[in-house]
Structure 1
Amino acid sequence: MTEQDFILKGFDTSVENGKVTWESPSNIALVKYWGKKKNQIPENPSISFTLSECKTITEVTFSKKEGNDFSFEVFFEGEANEAFKPKIQTFFERIEPYVPFLRQYHFKIETKNTFPHSSGIASSASGMSALALCLMSIEEQLSVTQGLVAEAARSGTEKSNHYFNQKASFLARLGSGSACRSIEGPLVVWGSHEEIEHSSDLYGVKFNENIHVNFENYKDTILLVDKGEKQVSSTLGHNLMHGHPFSERRFEQAHNNLSELATILKNGDLDQFINIVESEALTLHAMMMTSSPYFILMKPNTLEIINSVWNYRAKTGSKLCFTLDAGANVHLLYPDAEAEKVLDFIKTELVAYCQNGHYICDTVGYGAKHL
């Protein structure tokens, strides 16, 4: 698929109003994407676990309007939120060529999270993917027979759903890069990779290989070390990869790690899984610490948790490992069979390093849902 394939070729202007609701999960990257080109194109491919409980629920009410400006209002957790509007304005400007009905309607966007906003749990991923899915549902309502959605629908539900998800991922990417990995699950690849069939820089694709039983119902417990706003925006961080002294080697490393991880996900080698996932997390932060300007998003308690995980694994032989996003919080990944023991370890040793003792228990999930 190319960008041209996602252009809506016509829509029914007689539709006066409507309402749609979607929930979309966050995701946690195993191989990290850090650095992007123009139009939200990644410098390297990534792969992520889709989560289940950490999600955004978005309801969009739309009504016909006069005038030719974008018109929308945003409510977060039931209250009007002006801070979100610039990002949505930019999003609408980017996606208008593909969803040309945006200026025809006023949109009331009501959204809420099941987790703390701006806490390093990729709220932009779940939020932008939920909004993109709502817009795709509106497109379905407005599309006419000459549109690609209608063509797909005539060819059968499976093809229609595939196009719907692919375009939703494509649109979500233009709002937040990692959002394109939240549409489906349990594993999604974003970024062109020669060994991953159908992989693309334009949208995320399900990792459709036979995933080993070791990764079924895999757990992710997020330790909330710092629930405040991030010190540095992800956009700024990505931009600092331009001219970074280690960027080219990093992009090469990501390609190699994805190749290895693709094999591991099929053969179930948890020791090698741990090596790659933890290395990827630390490499992400190493890129931040060696950029110009440089910055550190880990907190002292982040390092305490990492060392505790290493000690616990050495003592018990556990397959528990950690990963990090661009923030201080720690994602603990572990097999379902170890859930009881790991949760006991968290409660007895790690909760002390969490802000107000807070952590979130999640499981790998299967993508967004239409409500």
Structure 2
Amino acid sequence: MLSEKDFISKPFSTVIENGSFQWSAPSNIALVKYWGKKEHQIPANPSISFTLNNCKTITKLAFAKKQNDSNFSFDLLFEGQPKEDFKPKIQKFLERIEIYCPYLKDYHFTIDTENSFPHSSGIASSASGMAALAMNIMSLERKLYPEMTQNFFNLKASFLARLGSGSACRSVKGNIVVWGNHAEIEGSSDLFGVEFPAKIHDNFKNYQDTILLVDKGEKQVSSTVGHDLMHHHPFAQQRFAQAHENLSAIKKVLEKGDLTEFIKIVESEALTLHSMMMTSIPYFILMKPNTLEIINKIWQFRNETKIPICFTLDAGANVHVLYPENVRVEAMQFITTELVGYCQNGNYICDQVGDGAINFSI
């Protein structure tokens, strides 16, 4: 089992003066939710997620060797324009990973990033953004350490991404990723995400996710604040135990293809996440009236048609509508006629399970 010390870079003799890399990394949607963390971005409970395909960040990292400068040095562009308000988060990230990537201070970086989805869409870009940046950094490290294996490359990229945004560690690989120690998941770790190790039933191949943009505004409460509220939450320990139990249950579901049980676990997890926020001090209600309207419409439609469509939620008002590929026509007809009217300006995004980060470097 790899430890943090295994990710500390060793001395190298290779000299790289300049160059560039480009990676895309997708967002992901948790099925069993991670909510609550310890120091150094360690999760309080394990989680499992679908890696998405279309909602992604594309980041180009250009680098040039510096002379006699011991500080981090970087320019940050978002969609081709300087983005000063993003820089403190990148600075903090570089400071966190310096011990593992000491070569970073040897270079000036130009980070040019963009999202495949509108920045104001209400889709969190921290997971995809940090994963894409981590993949680029590891491409530089692989140039410095040519003997690096692909497996170590992926694990360290996930490890670094986690230090920028916890759920980012689940955006390096696909299609289903587990993050956090769990007795029944071989290779699982609090330090990085791993691909679901068992064979996945055909029911979950190319699973669809239509994201209904109910509220495209700023989050009412940041994820960092939300996670911190679990430290003194009256139901925290019960929640962490529940996550372990649900991960055991969904492991069997993903292997056997039981869509009815999948729906029960995924919807329960979404509502539990929001119940944790409603019962914390201070407390928050992150759902909007239209979120509840959509949920009730989904329940009604599923009861009437027996089509296995369900919902999940992040820590916000938007609704992820999940369904198998073989019912896509019926599901999309329902979504466009019955649900889109509850979205802000009728906006929604069609996505599906994907394979993880993609290297565009030449």
**TM-score (ref. length: structure 2):** 0.97
User: How far apart, in 1, do the equivalents of 2:297 and 2:244 lie?
Assistant: 30
Check if 1:363 corresponds to 2:349: no
User: How far apart, in 2, do the equivalents of 1:108 and 1:13 lie?
Assistant: 21
Candidates 77, 80, 89, aligned match of 1:87: 89
User: How far apart, in 2, do the equivalents of 1:295 and 1:280 lie?
Assistant: 17
User: How far apart, in 2, do the equivalents of 1:122 and 1:184 lie?
Assistant: 18
Check if 1:141 corresponds to 2:130: no
Partner of 1:350: 339
Partner of 1:15: 16
Partner of 1:99: 101
Partner of 2:76: 74
Contact 2:49–2:176 (Cα < 8 Å) also in 1: yes
Please state how far the C-alpha of 1:122 moved relative to its aligned partner: 3.1
Task: Provide closer, same or farther for how the CA distance between residues 118 and 27 of structure 1 changes in structure 2, counting only shifts above 3 A.
Answer: farther
Contact 1:119–1:230 (Cα < 8 Å) also in 2: no
Contact 1:116–1:227 (Cα < 8 Å) also in 2: no
Task: Provide closer, same or farther for how the CA distance between residues 191 and 223 of structure 1 changes in structure 2, counting only shifts above 3 A.
Answer: same
User: How far apart, in 2, do the equivalents of 1:12 and 1:327 lie?
Assistant: 48
Q: Give percent identity, aligned residues only.
A: 66
Task: Provide closer, same or farther for how the CA distance between residues 120 and 279 of structure 1 changes in structure 2, counting only shifts above 3 A.
Answer: farther
User: How far apart, in 1, do the equivalents of 2:264 and 2:255 lie?
Assistant: 16
Partner of 2:302: 313
Please state how far the C-alpha of 1:168 moved relative to its aligned partner: 0.2
User: How far apart, in 1, do the equivalents of 2:237 and 2:54 lie?
Assistant: 35
Candidates 225, 228, 231, aligned match of 1:236: 225
Please state how far the C-alpha of 1:117 moved relative to its aligned partner: 2.7
The alignment partner of 2:84 has SS state of coil
Instruction: Summarize the alignment of residues 248-287 of structure 1 with structure 2, pairs less than 5 Å apart.
Output: 248-287=237-276
The alignment partner of 1:261 has SS state of helix
Partner of 2:44: 43
Instruction: Summarize the alignment of residues 179-258 of structure 1 with structure 2, pairs less than 5 Å apart.
Output: 179-258=168-247
Please state how far the C-alpha of 1:112 moved relative to its aligned partner: 0.4
Contact 1:217–1:335 (Cα < 8 Å) also in 2: yes
User: How far apart, in 2, do the equivalents of 1:267 and 1:16 lie?
Assistant: 52
Partner of 1:60: 61
Please state how far the C-alpha of 1:12 moved relative to its aligned partner: 4.3
- RMSD across aligned C-alpha pairs, in angstroms? 1.0
The alignment partner of 1:84 has SS state of helix
Partner of 2:161: 172
Partner of 2:287: 298
User: How far apart, in 2, do the equivalents of 1:99 and 1:136 lie?
Assistant: 9
Amino acid at match of 2:31: L
Amino acid at match of 1:363: Q
**TM-score (ref. length: structure 1):** 0.95
User: How far apart, in 1, do the equivalents of 2:313 and 2:270 lie?
Assistant: 5
The alignment partner of 2:51 has SS state of strand
Please state how far the C-alpha of 1:84 moved relative to its aligned partner: 1.0
Task: Provide closer, same or farther for how the CA distance between residues 193 and 119 of structure 1 changes in structure 2, counting only shifts above 3 A.
Answer: farther
Please state how far the C-alpha of 1:77 moved relative to its aligned partner: 1.3
Please state how far the C-alpha of 1:229 moved relative to its aligned partner: 1.4
In structure 1, list runs of 5 or more residues that go unmatched. 144-148, 153-159
Amino acid at match of 1:171: L
User: How far apart, in 2, do the equivalents of 1:181 and 1:268 lie?
Assistant: 22
Report the number of matched residues. 358
Partner of 1:146: none
Please state how far the C-alpha of 1:231 moved relative to its aligned partner: 1.4
User: How far apart, in 2, do the equivalents of 1:235 and 1:288 lie?
Assistant: 13
User: How far apart, in 1, do the equivalents of 2:248 and 2:56 lie?
Assistant: 29
Check if 1:6 corresponds to 2:10: no
The alignment partner of 1:279 has SS state of helix
Runs of 4 or more above 6 Å deviation: none
Partner of 2:320: 331
Partner of 1:111: 113
User: How far apart, in 1, do the equivalents of 2:359 and 2:35 lie?
Assistant: 30
